[in-house]
Structure 1
Amino acid sequence: MKRSIKQNLARVGVAVVATAAAVVAVPSVAQAAGYNGVCGSGYRVVDSMSLAGGTAFLTYNSSTGQNCAVTVRNSTGSPVYVLASIRVAVGGSLWHKDGDYYGTYAGPVYVYAPGQCIDWVAQIDDDSAQQLDSHCG
């Protein structure tokens, strides 16, 4: 079935209007990173911290007693330094960490600490942007 030039132009015009509407609907602010599930099944987010360039997530699995930390960039890009680190707060235990140049995320890192307070650190790119937080519960 042949279409007339007029019918083809009408279809192109509708496509252009739809594309323009989609472009207008895109927000100009970067989307905040969401938890990417890399800690595994059974983990739920119990805390988070906003960083320039992403979000760090602290998760917990109540059936295993494991805490997990992951730092996720807002958008994939050229590798920058990304850090996820976690430890049991009491007794000055060793840090479990993953810090390197990544395009997407650092972690997961785990520590067994049911019912204990933990310290966790996250960083994306700039050394001055490193954040430490404690979580009990």
Structure 2
Amino acid sequence: MSSATRLALPTAALTALAFGAAAAAATPVSAAPNTTPQKVCGADYKTVNSAPVGSLGTVYLTYNAANGKNCVATIRNNPGAAVEASSWVFIPDTEEYAEDNGDFTSYAGPVYATGKGHCVDWGGHIQQVHVQVTGSNCGRLQEHRVTYTN
């Protein structure tokens, strides 16, 4: 084998490899979310409520019984280019409030508030679809859900 042939084989292999990688990158990825509320909030947080954000994703309310904290995360159904999204939680009795708002590729949050023994208001948005849940998870009130677009 000549030296020119030995040099041409690795070059051809690298070109084929690069072409294959580019073709693989162009292949659509799974539509499944790449995370869970527990990955965002922490393993000790259990999902206690959720609300769909239209067809774009879901807002999750989670609770950690060990520390009495709620966590809210808004998770997109189809992660990708960054879009405007938010997560928020409010405890009316104590006026504790937390929010995460910005441009995100997969999820907004986590946001935390101490909610043991209190009603919880929470929600979030993805692009123009907003969800808010008030009077949630407190037993004495029936929660109220609103979904709107702007």
TM-score where L is the length of structure 2: 0.64
| Alignment map for 1:4-15 (pairs within 5 Å) | none
Q: Percent identity?
A: 31
Give the aligned residue type for 1:133.
V
Partner of 1:136: 137
Is residue 77 of structure 2 the alignment partner of residue 103 of structure 1?
Answer: no
Q: What is the CA distance between 1:133 and its match in structure 2?
A: 0.2
Partner of 1:82: 85
SS in 2 for 1:69: strand
Q: What is the CA distance between 1:33 and its match in structure 2?
A: 8.1
Determine the C-alpha separation between the residues in 2 that align with 1:117 and 1:33: 30
Which ranges in structure 2 are unaligned for 5 or more consecutive residues? 1-30, 139-150
Determine the C-alpha separation between the residues in 1 that align with 2:58 and 2:34: 6
Determine the C-alpha separation between the residues in 1 that align with 2:106 and 2:37: 10
Determine which of 48, 68, 71 is the counterpart of 2:71. Answer: 68
SS in 1 for 2:44: coil
Determine the C-alpha separation between the residues in 2 that align with 1:33 and 1:85: 21
Give the aligned residue type for 2:97.
W
After TM superposition, where is structure 1 displaced by more than 6 Å over at least 4 residues in a row? Answer: none
Determine the C-alpha separation between the residues in 2 that align with 1:36 and 1:123: 16
Alpha carbons of structure 1 residues 89 and 136: separation in structure 2 relative to 1, 3 Å: farther
Determine the C-alpha separation between the residues in 2 that align with 1:121 and 1:36: 14
Determine the C-alpha separation between the residues in 2 that align with 1:80 and 1:44: 27
Aligned residue pairs total 106
Assess if the C-alpha contact under 8 Å between 2:37 and 2:60 holds in 1: no
TM-score where L is the length of structure 1: 0.70
* RMSD (Å), alpha carbons: 2.1
